[in-house]
Amino acid sequence: MKTNFTMLGGLSIEEFLRNYWQKKPLLIRQAFPQFNGLLDRLQLFDLACTEDVQSRLVTQRHGQWQMQDGPFKATKFDSLGKSKWTVLVQGVNEHLPTAAALLKNFSFIPHARLDDLMVSYAPKGGGVGAHFDSYDVFLLQGSGHRRWQISAQQDHTLVEGAPLRILQRFQSEQEWVLAPGDMLYLPPHYAHNGIAESDCMTYSIGFRSPSYQELAEQFLVYLQDRVCFDEMYADPDLRTQRHPSEISTHMLRQVEQIIRQIQWTKHDIANFLGGYLSEPKPHIFFDPPTKPLSCARFEQAIQTGGVAMALKTQILCHNDVVFINGMAHAVGKDAYRELRSFADARKLDSNMSLTRETLELLYLWYIDGYVVPIACKHIDK
Binding status of residue 40 toward Co ion by CB under 5 A: no
CB closer to ligand SIN out of 128 and 379:
128
Out of 86, 141, 143, 278, the only residue in the binding site for ligand SIN (CB under 6 A) is 86
Interaction partner, residue 204 (ligand SIN, Co ion, none; CB < 5-8 Å by kind): ligand SIN
Which range touches Co ion (CB under 5 A), out of 36-44, 126-134, 224-232, 263-271?
126-134
Binding status of residue 137 toward ligand SIN by CB under 6 A: yes
**For residue 195, which amino acid is it?**
I
| C-alpha–C-alpha distance, residues 77 and 49, integer Å | 10
Binding status of residue 194 toward ligand SIN by CB under 6 A: yes
Interaction partner, residue 143 (Co ion, ligand SIN, none; CB < 5-8 Å by kind): none
Question: Rounded to whole angstroms, what are the CA distances from 189 to 109, 150, 169, 270, 371?
Answer: 19, 11, 15, 28, 36
| Phi, psi (deg, nearest 5) at residue 280 | -65, 150
Q: How far is the CB of 293 from ligand SIN (least distance, A)?
A: 41
Out of 133, 199, 320, 357, the only residue in the binding site for Co ion (CB under 5 A) is 133
| C-alpha–C-alpha distance, residues 289 and 332, integer Å | 28
Q: How far is the CB of 120 from ligand SIN (least distance, A)?
A: 3
CB-based closest residue to Co ion: 133
CB closer to Co ion out of 132 and 336:
132
Burial class (CB in 10 A: 0-12, 13-18, 19+), 7: buried
| C-alpha–C-alpha distance, residues 374 and 304, integer Å | 9
CB-based closest residue to ligand SIN: 120
Q: What 3 state SS string does 290-358 have? A: CCCCCHHHHHHHHHHHCEEECCCCCEEEECCEEEECCEEEECCHHHHHHHHHHHHHCEECCCCCCCHHH
CB closer to ligand SIN out of 89 and 343:
89
CB closer to ligand SIN out of 144 and 275:
144
CB closer to ligand SIN out of 205 and 308:
205
Whether omega before 71 lies within 30 degrees of 0, making that bond cis, reads yes
| C-alpha–C-alpha distance, residues 60 and 124, integer Å | 12
Long-range CB contacts for residues 294-301, cutoff 8 Å, separation at least 24: 295/363, 298/362, 298/363, 298/366, 298/373, 299/359, 299/363, 301/373, 301/375, 301/376
Binding status of residue 89 toward ligand SIN by CB under 6 A: no
- Residue 57 sits at the vertex; the CA angle it makes with 86 and 125, to the nearest 5 degrees, is 20
Q: How far is the CB of 257 from ligand SIN (least distance, A)?
A: 50
CB closer to ligand SIN out of 37 and 127:
127
Q: How far is the CB of 43 from ligand SIN (least distance, A)?
A: 16
Which range touches ligand SIN (CB under 6 A), out of 72-80, 120-128, 221-229, 328-336?
120-128
Binding status of residue 54 toward ligand SIN by CB under 6 A: no
What are the residues binding Co ion (CB under 5 A)?
133
What are the residues binding ligand SIN (CB under 6 A)?
86, 120, 127-128, 133, 137, 192, 194, 202, 204
